[in-house]
Structure 1
Amino acid sequence: MLASWKEKETVLDPSSNDPSTEEDDGEPKVCRVCGDRATGYHFNVMTCEGCKGFFRRVMKRNVRLRCPFRKGACEITQKTRKQCQACRLRKCLDSGMRKEMIMSDAAVEQRRALIKRKKREQLETQAPEVKELTEEQQNMILELLDAQMKTFDITFSHFKNSWLPGVQNNEIPKLDAASSEEEAAKWKSISKELYPISLRLQNEDGSVWNYKPSAERSKKEIISLLPHMADMTTYMFKGVINFAKVISYFRELPIEDQISLLKGATFELCLLRFNTIFNAETGSWDCGPVSYYLEDPQGGLQQLLLQPVMKFHYMLKKLQLHNEEYVLMQAISLFSPDRPGVVHRCAVDQLQERFTMTLKAYIECKRPQPAHRFLFLKIIAILTELRSINAQHTKQLLQIENIHPFATPLMRELFNIMDN
C-alpha cells in the first residue's frame, strides 16, 4: 500500500524530478522537515510521507495554527513533529514547500482515473499467454479418439437382442423345480443388493415394449434377465478389449501385462463408456433401440441416487465432459500399474502419468478458467470411486454366478471364474 502511494505522489507532484530516495553517493535521503527517511520530492521539497500528508491537510483546511509553547521555534524531529503543528508547518514553508503545487481533489481523482485507464489499456494490449498441447499430447488424444470411434458404436447396431423377442412373447425361462433350500437362502441373502432392471424396447415398426420386474423381485425374474445382461456385458467387454488393442502404447507391453490390465480395468472402462449414453433426465441408459432403467423399489429418487452405480453416473454426467476427456479417463484407468499380475509396473506407471498429464493439460487449454479450475481434481476423484465400484460389482457377480451360472466364457476369463 505504501509503495503505491509513493508512486502516486511522485506522479502527482509536477516538481518531483528525482523520485530516488538515495543520494548520488549512495547515502539515503532524509526529510528536510523532520529528518525521517524521505520518499521523494513532494511539493518542491524532499520529504517523508508523513510531512507530505501533513502539509497537504493543513493547506487544504486553511486554518491558522499557533504554537502551544508560545516560542514559535520548536525543534522538529521524527519524534517531536506531532507535538507542534505550527512550528512543523513553519519548517515546511521554510524548507521550500509550496501551496500552489497541491492539486485539487478533482484533479487528483482525474489523474488517478488516467493512471488506471493507462494500466488497463496496457494489460489489454499485452497478449495473454496461450497454453497449447504438445505435439505428443495431441497425437495421444487423436489415437484414443480413433480407437474409441472404431470400437464403440453408440447406436448398438451390431448388438443382437436374440433373447428379447422370447421375453416379449412371455417365454420366460423356467426354474428348476428341485431348487434346494440352500439355493433359496443364498438368493435371499443377496436379493437386496441386486438392482431391479427395467427395459424399454423400440421396435422397428415404432411400437414400444416395456418390461418391469414385479414388486416381489422373484429369482425367476432375476434369472430371466441374466442371459440378456450377460450378452450385453460381453458385447461391451469385446469393445473395450478392441479399444485397448488399437492403442499403440498398449500393444507395446508384454502380453502378460496386457491381460492383467484388461482383467482389472475392463469393467471400469465399460462404465465410462456407458456414461456417454446415460440420460440424466430420465435416469436411463439409451443403448440404441433398448433403454435400461434401475428401478427404485421404494419409489424415491433420493434412494435411487444413493445406489453406487447411479451416483457415479450422475456425478460424472454433471461434469459435461468432452469426448477427449472421456477417452483420456479410459486410458488412465486402463494403464493402472497396481492391477494384480502386472509385472512391468514402472513402464505402466509412466504411461499412466503421461495420460494423466495430458488430461490436465487439455483441461487447462480447452476449458475456460477459473470456472473449471477444479475439473481435473474432480475427474481424479471419480476415477478413484470407480475402483471401489469395480470391487463391489465383481463381488456381487461372483455371488450370483455361484448360485446360478450365467457368465459367458469371456466374462469367466476376465473375472477369473473357475469351473466347478
Structure 2
Amino acid sequence: MSKKPTGAETISEALMRQNEEETVSEDEEPRACGVCGDQAKGYHFNALTCEGCKGFFRRAIKRSTQLRCPFLNKCSITKNNRRSCQACRLRKCQAIGMRKEMVMSEKEVLERRIRIKKKKMLDTPIQLSSQQKETIQELLCGHRRTFDSAFSSFSGFRPMDRIILSVSEYNQPTREPFNPLTNCPTNICTKTSKSATGPRTSSCANFLSSSSFCGSFEKQKNREGEEVTKSIIFTALPHLTDLTTYMIQDIISFSKSLQDFRSLTMGDQIALLKGATFEIMQIRFNMVFNAKTNIWECGHITYCIDDAVRAGFQPLLLEPLFKFHHTLRTLGLQEEEYVLMQAMSLFSPDRSGVQQHSVIDELQENLALTLKTWIDCKRTGPEKHLLYPKVVACLTEMRTMTEEYSKQVLQIQDIQPDDISPLILEVVSRNPCDDF
C-alpha cells in the first residue's frame, strides 16, 4: 500500500517514496513463463521461463533423437498441456529466444559444481573434525607418558667419558678402511674438555669437518704392574648406548599406546618400529635442541655433536643430522605438530617387511591430513602455507639418514662389540625378529 504524502515531506523524501512504491509494485507483479504461461522464476538460457520449461529445454537439447509433432506442428502450449507435445514445446522455447549454446555439457556442469564446492570450502572456516581431535589427543597422551624433556627417569647409566687419554695422528686414505685402534686425529682429541660431564660447543665445526672416528685408549696395569692398553676406542659410546636404549624403550611404549598400532599384526608392528625408531628418536631430541648453542639440553645432562663423534659416528651421518636439527628447530613446531610427525614416521607403509600396506597407507594419509588441517586452523601469518611442506621435507630427509645410521652402528659394533645393547642391534638389524 502507498503512503499518503504529508505537508512536511521534502522533495527527496517524496522521490524516494515513489521509487519504493514502484519497486514494490514491480516485485509484486507476477511474471509469466514465455513458453507455457506458468509462473516464471527467472531468465534461463536467455529467456524468461519457469523451472519446468528450463529443465525441459536442457534435456531436449541434450537428447540425440529428433522430436516430432504427431499433429500439424501448431500445438498450443499451456501450463496444463505442456507435456503433450515436446516438439512444439521445444519450438516455442527457441521462438522466445532460448539458446542451445548456453546449455552446459556434462563436463562443464561437473566443473561448475567443483568450483562451487571449492568456493564454499574457502568461505567455510577450516575446522578439525572430532576424529582428528581424538587422534591428536591420543598422540599427546601417549607422548607425554613416554617422553620427559627433563629426562628425570634416565638413571643408572654409565657415565659420559669426554677425556682422551692417548692419541696418535693419522691421515685417513679415501679408499682404505680406517682402523680406530691405531688412528685418531690429534687436532680434535687434544682439545677435549677437562670436565667429564660438561658440554663443549667450540669445536663442533672442527669435528664435523673431520672424516674420522675419535676415541681413546684406557691405560691399566696388569698383575706385574706393567702398563697395558685396553681397547676402549669410543669413550662416549657406553653412555650414549644407555641413552639410546632408554629412548628406544620409550618409543616402543609410545607406539603401543596407540590403538591403530596395536590393531596391526605383530610382524608389521616390528617392521614399523625397526624402520621408524631412529627417526622418532631424532624428532624427540629436536624438542630439547638449542639451535643457538648447538646443545641438546636433556635435563641435568647436556650433549653436543662432539659426543656423537666420540661414540664412533662419522661425518657422513653427523653433518646432515646436525643440519636437520637446525632446520626443524627453526620451524618453531608446537607439541601437537611434533607428535603428528612422530606418528607419520611410525605409520610408513613402505618399511621393509610390512604386509598391511593399504591399511598403514590410509593411517599415514589421515595423519598427514590431520597435520595439515591443524596448521591451517591453528597457525596464523603467511608462513603457515609453507610449514606443512617443510615438515614433510624434514621427514623425507630423515629417511635418507636411517640407513646410514644402521650402517655406522654395525661398524662401531664390529670395533667395540661389548658396548652396543641388543635392543639397538635389533633396531638396526635387517633380519625380521620379534625381540621387541
Same fold by TM-score, threshold 0.5 exceeded? yes
User: Residue 337 of structure 1: CA displacement?
Assistant: 0.5
User: Residue 305 of structure 1: CA displacement?
Assistant: 12
Structure 1 residues 242 and 190: CA distance shift in structure 2, 3 A: farther
User: For 1:76-95, what aligned pairs fall within 5 Å after superposition?
Assistant: none
* CA RMSD, 1 decimal: 4.1
1:187 matches 2:180: yes
Paired residue type of 2:290: N
How far apart, in 2, do the equivalents of 1:190 and 1:171 lie?
13
Deviation by residue 1:170-206 (Cα, 9 ceiling, x = unmatched): 79899xxxxxxxx9943389979xx99988989xxxx
Deviation by residue 1:252-301 (Cα, 9 ceiling, x = unmatched): 1011100000000001000000000000110010111111112499xxxx
Paired residue type of 2:155: K
How far apart, in 2, do the equivalents of 1:198 and 1:143 lie?
44
Paired residue type of 1:290: I
- Which residue is equivalent to 1:156? 151
- Which residue is equivalent to 1:363? 375
2:302 is paired with a residue whose SS is strand
How far apart, in 2, do the equivalents of 1:150 and 1:201 lie?
33
Deviation by residue 1:219-260 (Cα, 9 ceiling, x = unmatched): 327522111110011011111111000011100101110000
2:276–2:345 contact (8 Å) kept in structure 1: yes
Deviation by residue 1:86-135 (Cα, 9 ceiling, x = unmatched): xxxxxxxxxxxxxxxxxxxxxxxxxxxxxxxxxxxxxxxxx963211000
User: For 1:279-318, what aligned pairs fall within 5 Å after superposition?
Assistant: 279-295=290-306, 307-318=319-330
1:227 matches 2:238: yes
How far apart, in 1, do the equivalents of 2:193 and 2:265 lie?
41
2:157–2:243 contact (8 Å) kept in structure 1: no
- Which residue is equivalent to 2:96? none
Paired residue type of 1:364: D
- Which residue is equivalent to 2:278? 267
Paired residue type of 1:163: R
2:200–2:306 contact (8 Å) kept in structure 1: no
Structure 1 residues 198 and 249: CA distance shift in structure 2, 3 A: farther
Q: What is the TM-score of this pair, normalised by structure 1?
A: 0.57
How far apart, in 1, do the equivalents of 2:316 and 2:272 lie?
31
User: Residue 211 of structure 1: CA displacement?
Assistant: 7.1
2:238 is paired with a residue whose SS is helix
* Alignment equivalent of 2:385, drawn from 373, 398, 405: 373
Q: How many residues align?
A: 276
How far apart, in 1, do the equivalents of 2:400 and 2:276 lie?
12
2:344–2:364 contact (8 Å) kept in structure 1: yes
Unaligned runs of 5+ residues in structure 1 are 1-16, 18-25, 27-126, 175-182, 203-207, 298-302
Paired residue type of 2:339: V
User: Residue 376 of structure 1: CA displacement?
Assistant: 0.6
Paired residue type of 2:366: R
Identity %: 40
Paired residue type of 2:258: I
1:198–1:294 contact (8 Å) kept in structure 2: no
1:261–1:334 contact (8 Å) kept in structure 2: yes
1:249 matches 2:257: no
Unaligned runs of 5+ residues in structure 2 are 1-21, 23-33, 35-121, 168-175, 218-232, 310-314, 432-436
How far apart, in 1, do the equivalents of 2:271 and 2:256 lie?
14
Deviation by residue 1:16-72 (Cα, 9 ceiling, x = unmatched): x9xxxxxxxx9xxxxxxxxxxxxxxxxxxxxxxxxxxxxxxxxxxxxxxxxxxxxxx
How far apart, in 2, do the equivalents of 1:373 and 1:408 lie?
43
User: For 1:21-420, what aligned pairs fall within 5 Å after superposition?
Assistant: 129-160=124-155, 162-164=157-159, 167=161, 185-187=178-180, 209=198, 218-220=214-216, 222-295=233-306, 307-405=319-417, 406-416=419-429
How far apart, in 1, do the equivalents of 2:318 and 2:198 lie?
28
